[in-house]
Amino acid sequence: MDTRHPCRNILPALALTIVLLVGVAHAENAADAAARDAEARPAAEQPQAAPAENAQDQPAEHRVPDIIITARKPPVEQGERPIFIALPPRDLRLRPLTESPGLDTATSIVGEQEIEWLEAYSVIDAMKYVPGAWTESRGRKVKQFFSVRGQTYPYPEYLLDGAYFREFHETDYYLPARSLERIEVLRSSAVLLHGPGGMNGMINLVPKRYTEPETTVTQIYGSDNLSRTEVTYGEGNDRMSIGLGVGFRHTDGDKEMNAEENITNFYANVQYDVSEVLTLSMTHAAFFGKRELEKGEGAIDPRFLTREDMFDPMRSYLFVGKAHYHPNERAWTEITGNYGIRRFFGHRDQQFDWLEEDYEYGARVVQGLRPCDANTLRFGTTFNRWRTPTGKRFYAATPTAPGNAGDISTYTAFIVDEHAFDRLTVNTGYRTTWEYIKRFGGFSVEGSGAGGLRLVLIEDEHSDPLGTYTLGSTYQLSKQWSLHGNFAWGEIASRPGMFDANGNRPDTETRFKYDAGLKRAWDDFGEVMGTFFYVDQQNAALGQNATALVNGERIQLFDSGDRESYGFELDMRSKRFETGTQFFANATLMTARQEQGGEGENDQEVPNLVVGTGVSQMFGDSWEFSVFTKRVGDYENERFLPAGTPPAPLGDFTEVNTKITHYFGQNKQHRAFLMVENVGGQHYSTVHGWPHPGVRYKGGVSLAW
């Protein structure tokens, strides 16, 4: 009996009310189909009758040999010792947060082999060569900010195993990347399911699942007395996976610049299939240690030239629990809960001490239904509450003022429908987001905190619901070629802590976002993707060439205006060829323009060119030579400059890194390497006052069993 459940006359591009009606209409048929599924099971799966008393009277038993069907690896995963991984197969039941297929060419995957190849310590390190990746490094509490496509204010946000964390920018440069199976970077600002905002891209950190025992021990030394130790252990089978990790990292930095760091990491992940229909998982990550905030240099605000700040101890804890229930192929439910707490004990040399504490907790529920084989409906809700009783960063306490506390709750509800029409797959969705600010005293990425803004306070403010609508599709032209397109319209509130010169929060922004991509993947080479993107921001919060003092430090002021950005991304990743070569190359060309007070101009604070390349060449099965390059175009801003100073140039550099690796052991599972970073010692800055220190060396050994 044919158990397929055909689906006709469902057009998900229509209003979502039609989608809901169709889902209800098919619910009863889905139950009937489930019953037919049971009837159509192979005989081996049906209840068996008791054997006859006289077996000689029965026909002889003939067993059909087991047949194992394995899918061919994606092109970039082919060859001996491949580095890259492709997007996971599109399975909305196993991964219910999967975004529109129209965003496939705007999604980058960094897998564990690539993390090892890059010798990446942190999540930030591992994403360095993602198309359009732009990292701003400085010596303040948030040490590094990562963005793509020049999307800032707010910067991309993070999920850990599908759990959304509002505050992660003090964690991503310490969370060890080696504990992850992959990092999913959604570069587009049209993300719908991953977070309440999702308007500037999202980053999902996926824990590793073990299927057999595996132990690694890594020891690395480098410039500035760098010492890094990592130990990971995992084991698993078809039903359970356990992963554990511990690491320690120390660097003196430049001793004269107050730059010492000592960080210890702990990590644990357990995934357990309780039954055929229920999977439970738990992820815990923690780090603690000490960090000195590096002093600045050059023609910046004089306070940052001499200030000696330190956080000792620093403590952060993250926990994620998840349950995935899938009783049949037609319905599934995923529930996620998460909690995080961060406590930073601050010290200013011979002046005062303070505490910066914040914590958050949240939950997400996603319900999936498959009314028919071609259609999948998902809906759910997300909740997040973030609190800081002490205030954070420049809104923390000082000797003359208490900290500005914060308490913000965020809620979302979403519905997404996807339908497959032969070669065409269409996805449409809607999300509404609303916020309750019980109390907020300010918070911004510019760094700082007394002055007139000290008195600005938001209390008991209920925001209006903000909507986001998306429509995306992919069309499979052939086995090798596919077209991808996505449109999104949405509203985004300015972040709490953004103020204009009058102490008011900028208005709500409206965005229109477009992604159009073409992808080719073939076994003889790998994959090539090209993506055009355009973002139209109306009434956006734009940084002004004006600042104000808060707690004796200077923050940037914002105002409302229009902004647009557009560009093209090229992303190439090869397989491991028979010659032993594997490489990647990507480039992002973009232009940003903004209009304030009726005057339009190019946004000079965004680099218009970002290029990344990397090549690995194997010599036999024992030696590998690698070269990485990163090119970031010029840009400018006045962050950390003295008040009244015009914007000064930044960026405009090409960094070259080289690495040689020797593999040894019976299965060549161990490795020793030497890496030279910034060959030639090019001097450049991504933020005023904290230039790149020049040539850096590191080397080490990694043993695996």
- Please state the rounded mean pLDDT for residues 282-298: 94
Residue 313: CB atoms within 10 Å: 12
Strand 458-462 relative to strand 424-440: parallel, antiparallel, unpaired? antiparallel
pLDDT at 355 over 90: yes
- Please state the rounded mean pLDDT for residues 26-50: 41
Confidence of residue 127 (pLDDT cuts 50, 70, 90): very high
Res 366: pLDDT: 98
User: In this predicted structure, which of 103-107, 241-245, 557-561, 673-677 has the lowest mean pLDDT?
Assistant: 557-561
Answer with the residue of higher pLDDT: 501 or 132. 132
Confidence of residue 393 (pLDDT cuts 50, 70, 90): confident
Res 239: pLDDT: 94
Res 9: pLDDT: 42
Q: Which CATH number fits domain 75-704: 3.40.50.410, 2.60.120.20, 2.40.170.20, 2.40.50.140?
A: 2.40.170.20
Q: Which of 307, 385, 393 is nearest to 355 (CA)?
A: 393
303: phi then psi, degrees, rounded to nearest 5:
-60, -35
Confidence of residue 27 (pLDDT cuts 50, 70, 90): very low
Answer with the residue of higher pLDDT: 154 or 648. 648
Res 607: pLDDT: 94
pLDDT at 14 over 60: no
30: phi then psi, degrees, rounded to nearest 5:
-65, -40
Answer with the residue of higher pLDDT: 634 or 49. 634
pLDDT at 450 over 60: no
- Please state the rounded mean pLDDT for residues 138-158: 86
- Please state the rounded mean pLDDT for residues 185-210: 87
3 state SS of 126: helix
Confidence of residue 194 (pLDDT cuts 50, 70, 90): very high
> What single-letter amino acid sits at 160?
L
- Please state the rounded mean pLDDT for residues 366-373: 97
pLDDT at 38 over 60: no
Confidence of residue 164 (pLDDT cuts 50, 70, 90): very high
- Please state the rounded mean pLDDT for residues 589-602: 82
C-alpha–C-alpha distance, residues 496 and 508, integer Å: 12
Strand 226-236 relative to strand 352-372: parallel, antiparallel, unpaired? unpaired
* The most confident of 296-300, 392-396, 434-438, 627-631, by mean pLDDT: 627-631
Residue-wise pLDDT for 460-504, tens only, equals: 888 788 899 999 999 999 999 999 999 999 887 766 556 665 666
- Please state the rounded mean pLDDT for residues 112-120: 96
User: In this predicted structure, which of 441-445, 453-457, 678-682 has the lowest mean pLDDT?
Assistant: 441-445
pLDDT at 209 over 70: yes
Question: From its phi and psi, is residue 689 left (phi > 0), alpha (psi between -120 and 50) or beta?
Answer: left
Res 510: pLDDT: 86
User: In this predicted structure, which of 167-171, 283-287, 334-338, 373-377 has the lowest mean pLDDT?
Assistant: 167-171
Res 462: pLDDT: 83
Q: What residues are paired with 336 via a beta bridge?
A: 322, 364
Res 52: pLDDT: 39
User: In this predicted structure, which of 60-64, 172-176, 250-254 has the lowest mean pLDDT?
Assistant: 60-64
pLDDT > 70: what percent of the chain?
80
Confidence of residue 525 (pLDDT cuts 50, 70, 90): very high
Q: How far apart are the first and last CA of the chain?
A: 49
- Give CA 247 to chain center in angstroms: 22
The structure tokens listed for 596 are 């304030």
3 state SS of 294: coil
**Domain layout of the chain by residue ranges:** 75-704
C-alpha–C-alpha distance, residues 434 and 437, integer Å: 10
Can you give the pTM of this predicted structure? 0.85
- Contact status, residue 289 vs residue 262, Cβ threshold 8 Å: yes
User: In this predicted structure, which of 1-15, 535-549, 556-570, 588-602 has the lowest mean pLDDT?
Assistant: 1-15
3 state SS of 613: strand
Which burial class, exposed, middle or buried, applies to 1 when counting CB atoms under 10 A from its CB (0-12, 13-18, 19+)? exposed
Answer with the residue of higher pLDDT: 173 or 487. 487
pLDDT at 383 over 70: yes
What does pLDDT average to over the chain? 85
Res 76: pLDDT: 97
User: In this predicted structure, which of 302-306, 559-563, 606-610 has the lowest mean pLDDT?
Assistant: 559-563
- Please state the rounded mean pLDDT for residues 110-129: 95
Confidence of residue 705 (pLDDT cuts 50, 70, 90): very high
The structure tokens listed for 649 are 């140039």
- Please state the rounded mean pLDDT for residues 322-330: 96
Res 569: pLDDT: 97
Answer with the residue of higher pLDDT: 473 or 459. 473
Res 272: pLDDT: 97
Contacts of 578 (CB under 8 A, 6+ apart): 79
- Please state the rounded mean pLDDT for residues 401-422: 91
Res 502: pLDDT: 60
Res 141: pLDDT: 83
pLDDT > 90: what percent of the chain?
64
C-alpha–C-alpha distance, residues 660 and 267, integer Å: 29
C-alpha–C-alpha distance, residues 182 and 201, integer Å: 17
The structure tokens listed for 167 are 């505050």
